[in-house]
Structure formats: C-alpha cells, structure tokens
Amino acid sequence: MSGPALRKIDSHEAIHDAALQEAQELTNVVANLLKEGDVDRALEAAYITVEHWETRTLAHADAEEKGLYQEIVENSPDLSKNVTALMRDHDILRLLIKEVKEILEKDGICERVLNRFHALILVDELHNKEEMKVLPEH
C-alpha cells in the first residue's frame, strides 16, 4: 500500500511540482556555470543534479511503482495501459540519468549533459500531467 500523500491528488501534485522546480533550478545553475566557463563548479553542480533526480524523482517513482500503481490497476483494470505508459516514463528517466552519469564519467561536464537534464525535465513534466489523470480522486 502506498503512503497517503501519494494517493491524494493535491499532495501528490505538490510533490511533483517541488521536485521538478528544484530540478529546473539545478539545471539552470549547471547551465550558467558552463556558460561562465566554470567547469569545476559546473561538474559539481551536475553531480548534485543527478543526486537530486535519483533521491527525489526516481525514489518517488519507485514508491509509485511498488504501491500506488498496483492499487490503481487493482481498482481500475481499464487503466492498465496508462499505468504501463507511466512506468515506461520512469524507465526513460532512469535511462537518461544513467546516460548522464556515463557522460560525466567519460567526458566530464558538457552540453550533452545539459541536453539530457533538459530532456529529463520535459519527460517529467509530460509524465506528471498524465499521471494526474489516473490518480483516484479522494
């Protein structure tokens, strides 16, 4: 069973909004440091951004998949395809983070990392909108 905050639309949406806003702000920090040519601090900020995605958004995704999504499908089997699509979104987020980590390790901080951070934000924005459509209203 998932926690009460995941099952209430308003609190669930607030969790999404806060994590996404933080990700956007961190991405802006990385972009600004890169633009200024401060490679060392940009690299450090990139690793902080990765940690943010892993500990906030992806940890939240794990919790949804272990409880909330199962509850949704049990209560509304007709939403099974929607839940499968939401889980695929989570997989895409995980793949993008994996790529970021690989790029950082191999090439350091570069535009490709920033591009993936922007992709993460876009996928997460779209995912969050779709998820709100399947959450039970109670």
Query: Containing domain of residue 20, as a range?
Result: 4-134
Question: Is residue 3 very low, low, confident or very high in pLDDT (cuts 50, 70, 90)?
Answer: low
What is the rounded CA–CA span in Å between residue 33 and residue 40?
9
pTM: 0.92
Segment 30-59 shows an average pLDDT of 97
Element (H, E) at 113: helix 111-134
> Model confidence over 86-111: pLDDT tens digits?
999 999 999 999 999 999 999 999 99
> Model confidence over 110-123: pLDDT tens digits?
999 999 999 999 99
What is the rounded CA–CA span in Å between residue 120 and residue 63?
19
CATH of the domain at 119: 1.20.120
Of residues 9 and 102, more confidence is placed in 102
What dihedral do alpha carbons 52, 116, 63, 67 form, nearest 10°? 170
Q: How many domains does the chain have?
A: 1
**The pLDDT value given to residue 138:** 47
Segment 19-30 shows an average pLDDT of 98
